[in-house]
Amino acid sequence: MLNYNQALTEEKIYPHLQIKEIKPIMKLIIRGRKREFLSASGKTLNMLLPTKANTFTQNDKLTALWLSIDEWMIFSNETQNKETNIYEIEKLLNKNISKLNLGAITDVTDQFVMINLKGDKIYDLFQTGSPYNFDIFQSKKGVVIQTILAKVDVIVQNQKKNEVNLFVRRSFAQHLFSWMNDSASRL
């Protein structure tokens, strides 16, 4: 039996902002460059990986975030069973990509925490702790950035107007959550 420990133990709701961890969500990093890699991953995932910088693609079960020229984060759109960390899609990717030396698959489910933020004050919160200018980002659906927030590396996915997913390393999740709570209380 898997011993799943939630990184953030509470959900915070403010007048114009809601912050909560979405758990457990399967997260994989896949890497590869060859045309055969892109073809095999597309067939296995039942979607094309985004090839344009700072974008994402999704289907009904999975989302793929572009991280670099040869790196993507794949995560499940639905929460997973807390009792296991065995994922069918990981097995298929290993069989169709890793075993054929087309690329690499790494399970980062325990490494990253996914925090969902909703509300019209998301970008006010972000701008208090990030050097990134979110003016253009907030108006574009389907974009992803990697930036610094409160001196912590984060990946931000713009889901839709006033809703983002933020990925942070587990070891920094509590610090970032505390900073967001403190900053959100002053908005």
User: 175-186: per-residue pLDDT in tens?
Assistant: 999 999 999 888
Instruction: Give the pLDDT of residue 10.
Output: 77
Whether residue 102 is contained in a domain is answered as yes
Q: What are phi and psi of 33, to 5 degrees?
A: -125, -30
Question: Is residue 101 domain-shared with residue 151, that is, in the same domain?
Answer: no
Whether residue 143 is contained in a domain is answered as yes
Number of domains composing the chain? 2
Strand partners, 22: 114
What's the CA gap between 48 and 39, in Å, rounded?
8
Name the domain boundary from 108, 138, 157. Answer: 108
Instruction: Give the pLDDT of residue 80.
Output: 73
- Give the whole-number percent of the chain exceeding pLDDT 70: 93
CATH number of the domain at 124, please: 3.30.1360.120
Give the three-state DSSP class for 158: strand
What's the CA gap between 100 and 91, in Å, rounded?
13
Question: Is residue 45 domain-shared with residue 84, that is, in the same domain?
Answer: yes
Question: Is residue 82 domain-shared with residue 40, that is, in the same domain?
Answer: yes
Q: Which two tokens stand for residue 108?
A: 């980062």
Give the three-state DSSP class for 97: helix
CA distances 120 to 97, 123, 140, Å, are 41, 8, 15
Contacts of 125 (CB under 8 A, 6+ apart): 17, 117, 180, 183, 184, 187
Whether residue 1 is contained in a domain is answered as no
Name the domain boundary from 67, 86, 108. Answer: 108
Q: Which two tokens stand for residue 13?
A: 């709701």
Q: Which two tokens stand for residue 10?
A: 């509470």
CATH number of the domain at 31, please: 3.30.70.1520
Statement: the pTM of the whole predicted model exceeds 0.75: yes
Asked whether the predicted pLDDT for residue 48 surpasses 60, the reply is yes
Name the domain boundary from 58, 92, 108. Answer: 108
Question: Is residue 60 domain-shared with residue 76, that is, in the same domain?
Answer: yes
User: 104-163: per-residue pLDDT in tens?
Assistant: 999 998 899 999 999 999 999 999 999 998 888 888 888 999 999 999 999 999 988 899
Judge contact between 155 and 145, C-beta under 8 A.
yes
Whether residue 4 is contained in a domain is answered as no
What's the CA gap between 123 and 128, in Å, rounded?
9
Range of the domain at 131: 10-24+111-187
Question: Is residue 118 domain-shared with residue 76, that is, in the same domain?
Answer: no
Instruction: Give the pLDDT of residue 14.
Output: 86
